[in-house]
Structure 1
């Protein structure tokens, strides 16, 4: 009754939006409630309407899809049509059921008085925390209203985070992400090669880049499309080596405070001195419990920031490094490039419905195609100092360091900079040994350097593996890694898994996951996949391991050259011990059933073969290999 009474007498058409989908129903719940309510109201003479309005239902916001003013406009435009589309959707491109409405991507209702900012950071670098502090500083210390949305995936630390901030003199009711920004900041220089972050920057806006190159060097170091956008939009371009400022201030790799100071200095939201005083007050309040030393380091970083902030004078022509890096490597299958590549690039919302698998099945082993290029520094192998203990291979959380032994004739066609040496492992004397780093998959945690026991006898500070800047080595190491993968895997029957230096020659079937840099869990999962991966059945409890293990768009569990790999599953709402027990019971039953079948077939098969299959010892690699040969 209250609903009917609230409807104006002039209403002719109504759109009802549900944030749910009920396949098989006559309509979504709110849509049906409105129709029945209006009909009942008219029947009883309630309210001010006397004729039945046209009512159309639609869906919005499923799976956290955006709902913007442009989509609201699309709904109203649909209602104006002579025959509006019913059971429509907004926010997706439905090219299968053709329910979606066309949306104008350039439509906006935001006033120019609102300062809109985007910050591209690296997970765990403090960017999100600093931006939350900025919101507090502006919201509490000025007359401005503030709003923040923070977008990041489930790749834990080490993935891209995008902070969407708005500040303005009027209350902010924009419940959607920033699509037209006055200020864009890139906190990790590698992101500039991967993401079109100037797409959302308005003409005349400000772009801030954290980079090791100064204002005179940077122009030739950035991709050509970025240069074109900077020139076309007449962007005010600033650079700072925040990583150096952080290190010099004793803060390691935490650049959040430094970039926060730059934002306030460039955005004009607050007078510069007032902003710096507010940041210092916030530092004392936030880090006071961690001790005076931590507070002092942050204050020192604030004081050192502005002298390292420089504006770049834009040339009139481009001379960049070329196009943006593809989100997925060129050797990936087409579907991986067309779908997972778009998801990886943050363009998943633009994909049509038809692009996705009908049954929700995604391929495994796709993390190898991502090449996130997160590391500022990567490990470089010194083959002359190496004792071939393979501790670095064992401890690597992302399987980006691998070792192989192989015959010398396999080196034909090796890249000029590919390193190899004589094997020092007793069982593989006379063979060649190589240790190779996947430079574009490495996260730069340096655990390999920490664990390395071999010392360089001529330079005491060096080991058999040492960290060096990644960008100059990227192309060289990409070629080396590609060649390394062509070298044959050692026959598992020749390897003694009880010896670490031999065990780590086994191929890992868990690689390049989205776990944190330096993760302490993943080396164990990787080792499990090396020892038993081609026959492992994994019941994964919910937690970090289920996120970086079963993540989309790319998946770290993979298969060997025979197509065998771990079988993995996670049940969110089920006790994992019970879940795993179900696996065990099921496999035992399948084995029992298989035994019964082969016994029935014994007259048609060789009796000795049947006996060998049923009594086979499968406690080691040789036994497993022999059993597979019998079965096939």
Structure 2
């Protein structure tokens, strides 16, 4: 992100860190860029401001206000007046309450801006370019230099094409890096691990009725039920074992243990699973904590044998034990289309032909 900064630029980071945490959280490459380019650095917790104003996760007006304040592209007072007029025009049909929430967000924005010192010593930081790989992101909860998890057994395409493109290095790729004809292999979304959610659902298995509705409605296939034998469960991480229960429903299910598992890196935080759960078994918690607790559990779960062929897939519950062929898409959080396509892949598997997937 900082490689494109010009000299004496202004850099604003939306994050939940305070000034003391910032040095620990920013990668060395990013800190060195800021110092070398003599950039001014500001932080703001726009999400916190948005929540307080009643806007939920919507930070667009808050960050727009920050832009006008720090960029000096036009007089700030004039810009804010125009911004508030545009709010009334855009959201007026939604009622005075929505208009007021957005204006309150604008008014609270400037007080939330914190300027951070950029020590000159940062310009001398040693950077392992291969290890850091410019790993900067908008993931406000990522820790240290490990901004994204390295996926084991990544395909050649993911390593040589997908990763550089995601790091905004696509222009540096030679033609020889691509498959002739421009074909892209399937299943590469599993390697992205975008980590864009601020809050991630946690399942209270004591409340869970094992209906699998949370999995059905998840647009990104980031919430799934898993079946495992007692022997397999014995090899699981401790928290995975604690969150597993005997499968209910009779028949072949009597042979297995059951668990709903969330992928914290693939969840987008849309909350649909929380809303649809008939037993209120899902609650939202900080994504940072979820990654620490659930990343290893997800990796264990997806390595379990696929037992979809043992279950009747013509029911809501049974369909969700089938592996989805559409997973971790780039669709917006809460997308209403991807659950339908995902379900089609679960019902028809590799017999399904999609003529147009734009």
Is the structural similarity TM-score above 0.5?
yes
Contact 2:308–2:321 (8 Å) recurs in 1: no
Report the Cα offset of residue 465 of structure 1.
Answer: 1.2
Distance in 1 (CA, whole Å) between partners of 2:265 and 2:70 is 33
**Alignment partner, residue 183 of structure 2:** 361
Residue 217 of structure 2 corresponds to residue 395 of structure 1: yes
Task: Look up the SS of the partner of 2:328 in the other structure.
Answer: coil
Tell me what 1:78 maps to. Answer: none
Q: How far did residue 416 of structure 1 move?
A: 2.7
- For residues 295 and 164 of structure 2, the distance between their equivalents in structure 1, rounded to whole angstroms, comes to 22
Q: What is aligned with 1:252? A: 56
Cα deviation digits, residues 41-73 of structure 1 (max 9, x gap): xxxxxxxxxxxxxxxxxxxxxxxxxxxxxxxxx
Q: Normalising by the residue count of structure 1, what TM-score does the alignment of the two structures yield? A: 0.50
Cα distance in 1 for residues equivalent to 2:268 and 2:233: 28
Matches within 5 A, 1:56-95: none
Relative to the length of structure 2, the TM-score reads 0.87
| Alpha-carbon offset, residue 328 of structure 1 | 7.0
Within 1, Cα distance between the matches of 2:248 and 2:29?
Answer: 49
**Structure-2 residue corresponding to 1:348:** 170
Tell me, what secondary structure is at the counterpart of 1:424?
coil
- Count of paired positions: 337
SS for the counterpart of 2:20 is: coil
- The residue correspondences of 1:93-172 to structure 2 (distance < 5 A) are none
Of 294, 297, 307, which residue of structure 2 is paired with 1:480? 297
Give the drift of 1:326: 5.5
Match of 1:273 among 74, 77, 81: 77
Consecutive unaligned residues of structure 2, counting only runs of 5 or more, are 127-141
Alignment partners' CA distance in 2, 1:322 and 1:292: 43
Aligned equivalents of 2:96, 2:282: Cα separation in 1? 36
Alignment pair present for 1:386 and 2:208: yes
Does residue 1:444 correspond to 2:261, yes or no?
Answer: no
RMSD of aligned residue pairs (Cα, Å): 2.3
* Corresponding position of 1:611: none
What are the within-5 Å matches in structure 2 for residues 25-36 of structure 1?
Answer: none
The CA deviation string for residues 9-62 of structure 1, in whole angstroms up to 9 with x for no partner, is: xxxxxxxxxxxxxxxxxxxxxxxxxxxxxxxxxxxxxxxxxxxxxxxxxxxxxx
Alignment of 1:450-489 (within 5 A): 450-454=275-279, 463-489=280-306
> Could you list the per-position Cα deviations for residues 239-264 of structure 1 after superposition, in whole angstroms to 9, with x for gaps in the alignment?
11111111222222221111111112
Deviation at 1:327?
8.9
Which one has the largest radius of gyration?
Answer: 1
Shift of residue 410, structure 1, vs aligned partner: 0.5
Change over 3 Å in CA distance of 1:539–1:276 after alignment to 2:
closer
Distance in 1 separating the partners of 2:74 and 2:350: 59
Q: Which has the higher contact order (CA 8 A, sep 6+)?
A: 2
> Corresponding residue for 1:423?
247
Q: Distance in 1 between matches of 2:300 and 2:220?
A: 19
Residues 321 and 539 of structure 1, relative CA distance in 2, 3 Å threshold: closer
Among candidates 512, 531, 551, match of residue 328 of structure 2: 512
Instruction: Write the deviation string for residues 142-179 of structure 1: whole angstroms up to 9, x where unpaired.
Output: xxxxxxxxxxxxxxxxxxxxxxxxxxxxxxxxxxxxxx
Task: Give the 3-state SS of the residue equivalent to 2:11 in structure 1.
Answer: strand
Q: Is the 8 A contact 2:157 2:185 kept in 1?
A: no
Paired residue for 1:533, among 349, 353, 356?
Answer: 349
Higher helix share: 2
